[in-house]
Structure 1
Amino acid sequence: MAWCLAWPFASQAQDLPAPAASAAPLPLAEIPLAKAHAAAPREASAADAWGGVRSGAEATLSDRVVGYRIDAELDAARHTVKGNEQLSWRNRSDRPVDRIYLHLYLNAFQNEGSTFFTERSVLTAHGHSRGAAALKKGEWGWIDLKSVQQGNTALKWSFVHPDDGPATDQTVARVDLAEPVPPGGTLTLDIDFLSQLPRVVERTGWWGNFNLVGQWFPKIAVLELPGERGATQVQWNAHEFHFNSEFYADFGNFDVRLTVPSDYTVGAVGALEGEPDEIDGKTTYHFVQGDVHDFAWVAAKDYKTLDAEWRGPGSPKVAVRVIYPPEYAASAKPVLKATLDSLSYFSNTLGAYPYRTVTAVVPPYNAEEAGGMEYPTFFTAEGFARIDPQTADQWEIDFVTIHEFGHGYFYGLLASNEFEEPMLDEGMNEYWDERMLRERNQRILVPSSWLRRAGITPSMDVFAMERLDAGLSHPYDALGQNSWDRYSSTSYGTVYSRTATAMHDLEERLGKDVMERGFREYYRRWHFRHPSVADLRATLIDVSGNARAVNEIFDQYVYGTAHIDDRVASIDNQEVLPLAGSWLKQGERHELVADDRDDDVDKQRAAWEKTHPHAGAASPGPFLWRGTVTVVREGAQAPQLLRVSFADGSHEDVHWDDDRRWARFVFTRPTKVVSAELDPDGKILLDANKLNDSRTVTSDASASRRWTADVASALQALYALLVTL
């Protein structure tokens, strides 16, 4: 029988902090919703946003705004969850609140009239994405509010469309309160609901006896104050569930009891509180976790578990568990190892991991769309029946595990707004994941069976792979754009790869150590808060002292759609011969006729050849050579290094770091210029066309062979896109 071991070090449930003293309340007035097309703000948040920097001396890790006490029971045959929820919420604003907004995410899967399905039909027509499964009869999912009560009063609710989505969307509900919540006051609601899980279509759902239960309970929206993430007034941030969007919520405490069939294995956000209780073939598990902003769980029959323990400086002892189906037993140990390695890397480079558990779930065959998803302390990975180390399998399972664990920092602890600023989670996490893989010297193997049979195993640097999938030539959307106002799903996918590429190039300008210090400071300032893109930019400027480099990257790529395409346009060599004409020398004018000059040149050549009988074409001759290299800028400015090589084997580096659209560099040397190359060390991966970065005076087939291998490696970029979107 499947079993679930009670984990040690379960967190203790804690109530919300007592209301803070406040000034006289403002008159009751409607609090507006965040703008329908809100995206990354340009102004940094106020220093005291979200309560200010967490010092670590506070009673709780986060400033807990919400509390959820939920009793839920899974009907495994119907894949439904019946829930009773007590929601506690603290009004942080200076005005009374007479209505709240609830996210009902599962309603995205109830019919084709939802914002999710409406957008899917358009976005996937212009690109590729996950979440493309077709639901059949009996496979739709939804969440029904049965009752919402404030004290003894039953409340009314209505569906709203903050982003001007279709009237048939029901993913956001407005609840009108019987009694307003005063400034600093706490609201308590009792909610009964029934959640029908969909057949796995994206992120959540069931397949066979597997149930991944995510986005499953009514969840209150975030009330933002002036100075927080660009807000200029008190506002509700409550967006519909878009096809490409994920989530945004307040930190708080979760106290959840889950009742499931006793032969099911269970894992969830947080730690078990006490031993599970078994009665009449059903077992109730009590999970508690403070200082997180979401809760998800898995219940699956005949699943196995693999456990380990991790310790690191500044962190509690962490119980690590992998839950996996028998057919993917080969994935259990690799997922466990990658999770343990990620705990070490992220703790060492960003900040100590503060929780006592990590749970990784390997979905079964036919439920791949449930893989590659993250929640606090809980994520889903990839499943393989066999892992061939000579293919991309090992890289893929490592990458997905690292990526989903990494979300625990960028989505979980930093808690950015994934609706409006997906690059802060998906993009920055992708960048940090690739840094980890680079440190492990873990390159991507080209998936080519015929090359393997020939004894050749080509590989590719992880950041070189990212640039191939980044849409650098014609970016349609700024990286700082929100998740739903996108040209296509493919364009949204560049949030991952183009952000990672942009941060790589910024790292090259600032230095690896400086970049790491910048991100570590970003984490220190903003964990358990909700930073914006502008807050990240401000932190990187503060740490690096290089406002120019940081602002160029952010202005051009985060807030804009610039592209780089610098190229070597031409190489011209001219022998420096005596010049014909009239010349004034020592007060007397002398004339050199061209014919006389040519005769003199012939004599000097003959004399040179006589004294240098073995001189080759690459050797200096009787005259110097003037080489002119012309470079052209087709896109945005980037600081370029130009390396010019000469026939005698020497080279000279010059810097092109100005706003000229083209430039000519002249070199007078004993031998000809034979080649010129921009960015010889490969630091500027944002350059849309690296093929035109170099030029030789004679043809060289090695470049085409090298780029043929790189183009083949673009196949692996597709794998990365599919498993991370």
Structure 2
Amino acid sequence: MKKWLMICFGLAATAGLQAQDIRNNPTSNHGNKFEQLGTILPTANEYRTASGAPGPKYWQQRADYKISCELDEAKLELRGKETITYFNNSPDVLTYLWLQLDENEHDPNSNNNVFDESGMRPNMSVGELAGIDKKALLEGHGDKIDYIKDATGKALKYTINQTMMRIDLPVPLKPGQQYVLNIGWHYKIPNRMTLGGRGGYEFFPKDGNNVFTMAQWFPRLCVYSDFQGWQNHQFTGRGEFALVFGNYDVEMTVPADHVVGATGECQNYQAVLSPAQFARWQKVQTSKDVMEIVTLDEAKKAELAKASAKKTWKYKANMVRDFAWTSSRKFVWDALPTYVEGKKVMSMSYYPKEAYNLWRTYSTKVVAHTIKSYSKFSIPYPYPVAISVEASNGMEYPMICFNNGRCAEDGTYTEATKYSMIGVIVHEVGHNFFPMIVNSDERQWSWMDEGLNTFVQYLTEELFDNKYPSRRGPAWAIVDYMKLPKNQLEPIMTNSENIIQFGPNAYSKPATGLNILRETIMGRELFDFAFREYSRRWAFKHPTPADLFRTMEDASAVDLDWFWRGWFYSIDACDISLDSVLSFRINDKLGAPPSRPGNDTFYVAKPAVNAFEDISKIRNREDKSIVFETDRDTTLRDFYWYYARGMKNVDNSPIVRERTPGEAITAEDPAPFKDKWFYELRLSNKGGLVMPVIIEWTFADGSKEVDRIPAEIWRKNELQISKVFMKNKEVKAVLIDPMRETADINETNNRWPAVGAPSRFQLFKGGFRNRNAGAALPNPMQREIK
């Protein structure tokens, strides 16, 4: 007679689940989490196919711009005029055109200034009180239209609605036709540091100079598309913009001692640079290292002797969706030629002396690393330049972006400042790919812009340094957001303006989802091919979410509808509970093994290094084809590179935690299962989000093994499952999601025997550190210098 003895370890099973998305059978344990998205996605047609590719009759509009403008630094005013040539490539007859007037964000009468909530507190600052009624602060701001005329000079009728302007056409614009219009305009340049916004100026009181970042600065066409007609959502400052591709010819007249950087290529460097500067520009074309075109000494001298004359800088850019520029006499300007598939790209940086020690070392090299990395994961960078500007900001435009990162007065900087600067440069330069080239609609779907870009930013950071403290991308880093109360969450598929937790929703969660697909569900090879295919298909076009979802499946042969449904359309979280482990033994000759009392020892992580080394870091290190940028170029190893590796006085004292011993069972031994151990795991889905089940087994001899069960194990019962495993050795511990790959929000129910998770204080002692926490701490670089 066989004698079976079972011992159950773990927590009792729970079955109460609430799903947030559309379910056919909401009260059943078998809803529709694994059904196809079906009619949730738009119907495929001749413009957009069911495969996710552009259809045989795909079309998009085009707008070419010829612009001239003048910057009046004394009056802080910009005046301009432009000629727009609009091409109607659609099959539709158009009777009017919609343009964006984003600078009307600062118009005192704009709804943007009144529809946000506000409240009073016992202690209020003067600035907060002034912000309650912004009209006085914004007096005189906003776009002022001087004229709108057709090609013959005849005035055109127009209507301004907040940040949108409709131009009524005197004759309908038929398919295949083009229309030319002329617009004159001016506006008062806002102080970006006090009034906010994407463009404006920053004043430096110590030397009396400004840095101008001219962005979203001219009237420009809205997108007219096959999937929504005119995209004319108002600009409120959050949902960014969707724009039309075209060619730009732009002239900017500025003070003669200003240095200008802009979208595209300068056509007249020899006329606007000094002979020495122009000679450096020519020399840097073949340089092997970063060179200064405008030196630090020249920038300091220009700050003191402000010129009264003016110069005109001329730029051209082809096949871009926008144009931005920067201008200041404070700028140091450096450059480095970078090669992407044999094509030269000039990586460049513009920055004031306040950022010199940090930016001179890192900025341009980070730009170069970014365009090479993104080219690997998406499409080769197609433009001739990539520019990073230090402007105490973070915003992106074609070929140019505005970033942050300044030193202390003594020239040192904190570790948090360094990584904040590198991260924002990678992010904003990366926006050249998403959405400046893969041109999604940011007004409607911020995540298609921010989320996709943040995902490739994460991949790029990981290739910069294997100990880079990435904070968006690894699954474990999204947990705090995923376990928030439901009334603070929205699905990723939510309009930009309606999101409470904008950063996690638009940036972190979609980036994390893509990383989970790459590392845990699809695998790198299948994912990378499909993601590159999406980028290739939709480069210089206007994709929608359905185009991404369909392409990822079409190019990989992986059914991901369950993942899109759960991660993008719902607010469910992953909480897989290991409710019990039933241990079966069919050999009573072994006897009960002794218990294994003892302790586990943990060590303090290095400064700014993530508390948990995620699976991406490990796999990157194991991939011998990967050379990290800080290994390839050792000049990028600053104080903090060594500090992160324990080479600069790091307290590495151990933290000891008592281990909970396990038990084993014996029984008779029927062949052929002699010496086998059987374990039945019972798991429940407490969070609602179906995910793969990843199991780490720790055996009595100390060895470990991992089993990976696809998410489809939940397809017949989305609430509770059981699974039996046969092992050759006795198991002493079971851990669900050992590499923290699934964003499980409750790790206390992931262990057998049950072990409590560290409190937040203990987690800090064990190495947890927020990436920005160092900003308020003493500067270790200063201590090292002293």
- Scaled by the length of structure 1, what TM-score is found? 0.74
1:401 aligns with 2:425: yes
1:658 aligns with 2:696: no
What residue is the counterpart of 2:506 in the other structure? 495
1:311 aligns with 2:353: no
What are the Cα deviations for residues 462-504 of structure 1, in whole angstroms up to 9, with x where unaligned? 6256424643554622212221122x2x245421000111111
Relative to structure 1, the CA distance from residue 514 to residue 84 in structure 2 (aligned partners, 3 Å threshold; closer, same or farther) is same
Relative to structure 1, the CA distance from residue 465 to residue 632 in structure 2 (aligned partners, 3 Å threshold; closer, same or farther) is closer
Relative to structure 1, the CA distance from residue 118 to residue 351 in structure 2 (aligned partners, 3 Å threshold; closer, same or farther) is same
What residue is the counterpart of 1:350 in the other structure? 378
What residue is the counterpart of 1:114 in the other structure? 110
Q: Which amino acid aligns with 1:471?
A: M
What residue is the counterpart of 2:174 in the other structure? 182
Relative to structure 1, the CA distance from residue 718 to residue 628 in structure 2 (aligned partners, 3 Å threshold; closer, same or farther) is farther
1:674 Cα deviation after fit = 3.5
* Aligned partner (choices 73, 80, 97) of residue 94 of structure 2: 97
- Tell me, in whole angstroms, the C-alpha distance in 2 between the residues paired with 1:620 and 1:560: 41
1:288 Cα deviation after fit = 0.6
Q: Secondary structure at the match of 2:497?
A: coil
Relative to structure 1, the CA distance from residue 619 to residue 194 in structure 2 (aligned partners, 3 Å threshold; closer, same or farther) is closer
What are the Cα deviations for residues 221-248 of structure 1, in whole angstroms up to 9, with x where unaligned? 11113xxxx34xxx21111002321010
1:443 Cα deviation after fit = 3.5
What residue is the counterpart of 2:528 in the other structure? 516
Decide whether the 8 Å contact of 1:468 with 1:717 is kept in 2: no
1:627 Cα deviation after fit = 5.7
1:561 aligns with 2:571: yes
Q: Secondary structure at the match of 1:408?
A: coil
* Aligned partner (choices 458, 466, 478) of residue 491 of structure 2: 478
Moved more, 175-184 or 619-628: 619-628
- Tell me, in whole angstroms, the C-alpha distance in 2 between the residues paired with 1:670 and 1:304: 66
Q: Which amino acid aligns with 1:393?
A: T
What residue is the counterpart of 2:387 in the other structure? 359
Relative to structure 1, the CA distance from residue 503 to residue 240 in structure 2 (aligned partners, 3 Å threshold; closer, same or farther) is same
Structure 1 regions of 5+ residues with no counterpart? Answer: 1-39, 56-61, 126-130, 161-169, 446-458, 579-603, 720-725
Relative to structure 1, the CA distance from residue 502 to residue 409 in structure 2 (aligned partners, 3 Å threshold; closer, same or farther) is same
Q: Which amino acid aligns with 2:683?
A: V
Decide whether the 8 Å contact of 1:254 with 1:295 is kept in 2: yes
Decide whether the 8 Å contact of 1:254 with 1:289 is kept in 2: yes
Q: Which amino acid aligns with 2:561?
A: N
What residue is the counterpart of 2:155 in the other structure? 154
Identity within the alignment, %: 25
Decide whether the 8 Å contact of 2:492 with 2:506 is kept in 1: yes
Decide whether the 8 Å contact of 1:629 with 1:676 is kept in 2: no
What residue is the counterpart of 1:640 in the other structure? 693
What are the Cα deviations for residues 65-122 of structure 1, in whole angstroms up to 9, with x where unaligned? 11111110011122211011111101123343221111100011122x4243334446
Decide whether the 8 Å contact of 1:395 with 1:442 is kept in 2: no
- Tell me, in whole angstroms, the C-alpha distance in 2 between the residues paired with 1:709 and 1:124: 37
1:180 Cα deviation after fit = 2.3
Where does 1:293-442 land on structure 2 (aligned, <5 Å)? 293-313=321-341, 315=343, 317-333=344-360, 334-363=362-391, 368=392, 371-385=393-407, 391-442=415-466
1:551 Cα deviation after fit = 1.4
Q: Secondary structure at the match of 1:663?
A: strand
Relative to structure 1, the CA distance from residue 404 to residue 47 in structure 2 (aligned partners, 3 Å threshold; closer, same or farther) is farther
What are the Cα deviations for residues 665-701 of structure 1, in whole angstroms up to 9, with x where unaligned? 467889875422212233323x23334322325x578
- Tell me, in whole angstroms, the C-alpha distance in 1 between the residues paired with 2:757 and 2:474: 25
Where does 1:46-85 land on structure 2 (aligned, <5 Å)? 46=45, 48=47, 65-85=62-82
- Tell me, in whole angstroms, the C-alpha distance in 1 between the residues paired with 2:347 and 2:759: 47
Relative to structure 1, the CA distance from residue 69 to residue 615 in structure 2 (aligned partners, 3 Å threshold; closer, same or farther) is closer
Relative to structure 1, the CA distance from residue 557 to residue 621 in structure 2 (aligned partners, 3 Å threshold; closer, same or farther) is closer
- Tell me, in whole angstroms, the C-alpha distance in 1 between the residues paired with 2:473 and 2:761: 20
* Aligned partner (choices 739, 743, 748) of residue 681 of structure 1: 739
Q: Secondary structure at the match of 1:546?
A: coil
Greater RCO, 1 or 2 (C-alpha within 8 Å, sep 6+): 2
Q: Secondary structure at the match of 2:435?
A: helix
- Tell me, in whole angstroms, the C-alpha distance in 2 between the residues paired with 1:48 and 1:124: 51
What are the Cα deviations for residues 437-462 of structure 1, in whole angstroms up to 9, with x where unaligned? 223344355xxxxxxxxxxxxx9896
Where does 1:686-705 land on structure 2 (aligned, <5 Å)? 687-696=744-753, 699=755
What are the Cα deviations for residues 294-317 of structure 1, in whole angstroms up to 9, with x where unaligned? 0111111222111111122153x2
What residue is the counterpart of 1:241 in the other structure? 235
Decide whether the 8 Å contact of 1:469 with 1:714 is kept in 2: no
1:202 aligns with 2:191: no
What residue is the counterpart of 2:297 in the other structure? none
Structure 2 regions of 5+ residues with no counterpart? Answer: 1-38, 122-126, 204-209, 273-306, 598-660, 669-676, 776-786
1:714 Cα deviation after fit = 4.0
- Tell me, in whole angstroms, the C-alpha distance in 1 between the residues paired with 2:466 and 2:525: 20
Decide whether the 8 Å contact of 1:480 with 1:558 is kept in 2: yes
1:352 Cα deviation after fit = 1.4
Q: Which amino acid aligns with 2:170?
A: A
- Tell me, in whole angstroms, the C-alpha distance in 2 between the residues paired with 1:142 and 1:92: 32
1:262 Cα deviation after fit = 0.6
What are the Cα deviations for residues 22-74 of structure 1, in whole angstroms up to 9, with x where unaligned? xxxxxxxxxxxxxxxxxx98237656569x9899xxxxxx9771111111001
Q: Secondary structure at the match of 1:495?
A: helix
- Tell me, in whole angstroms, the C-alpha distance in 2 between the residues paired with 1:96 and 1:321: 43
Decide whether the 8 Å contact of 2:473 with 2:512 is kept in 1: no
Q: Which amino acid aligns with 2:714?
A: D
- Tell me, in whole angstroms, the C-alpha distance in 1 between the residues paired with 2:85 and 2:747: 55
Decide whether the 8 Å contact of 1:414 with 1:528 is kept in 2: yes
Moved more, 661-670 or 278-287: 661-670
Larger radius of gyration: 1
What residue is the counterpart of 1:88 in the other structure? 85
Decide whether the 8 Å contact of 1:148 with 1:189 is kept in 2: yes
* Aligned partner (choices 682, 706, 711) of residue 630 of structure 1: 682
Relative to structure 1, the CA distance from residue 326 to residue 123 in structure 2 (aligned partners, 3 Å threshold; closer, same or farther) is farther
1:199 Cα deviation after fit = 1.1
Moved more, 616-625 or 84-93: 616-625
Q: Secondary structure at the match of 1:392?
A: helix
The total of aligned residue pairs comes to 596
Report the RMSD for the aligned CA atoms in angstroms.
Answer: 3.9
What are the Cα deviations for residues 356-398 of structure 1, in whole angstroms up to 9, with x where unaligned? 11121101xxxx3xx1100000001212215878833332221
Decide whether the 8 Å contact of 2:388 with 2:403 is kept in 1: yes
- Tell me, in whole angstroms, the C-alpha distance in 1 between the residues paired with 2:430 and 2:400: 11
